[in-house]
Amino acid sequence: MPRVQHMLNPFQKLIESQVGAIQENVAKAMQELEVAEVESSVGGGVVKCRMTGLGQLTELKIDPSVVNADDVELLEDLVAAAVRDCAARAAALKREKIMGATPLGAMGVELPDMF
């Protein structure tokens, strides 16, 4: 019986050769994001927030001058705004690092947030 040879897609070898490098690049980007930090400040600096590039909250500072038992809602709003802004900055940094680790990022192709 004759042997049937499977034809490979001409790009398959290229893709397969790059998969390992892409995995390494993404792993390196994730390690960088673990130690990278983003910061946000709201209310003229009375509430400050810091997160890792992976979105883990590492610090929340509140100026004592903004703490008022009669207006807890203001403090809650300031904290929420600082955390939201900081999380958005962390997500943008993460997207930038991950996209930079893939060939699609170099081509300007946007990937959904999957990390």
Q: What is the pLDDT of residues 60-76, one digit of tens each?
A: 999 999 999 999 999 99
Q: pLDDT grade, residue 82 (50/70/90)?
A: very high
The pLDDT value given to residue 100: 85
Q: Assign 3-class secondary structure to 4-61.
A: CCCCCCCCHHHHHHHHHHHHHHHHHHHHHHHHCEEEEEEHHHCEEEEEECCCCEEEEE
Give the chain's mean pLDDT.
86
Residue 5 above 60 pLDDT? no
CA–CA gap between residue 112 and residue 108 (Å, rounded): 13
Q: Which fold has domain 12-106?
A: Ybab; Chain: A; (3.30.1310)
At 41 the three-state DSSP class reads strand
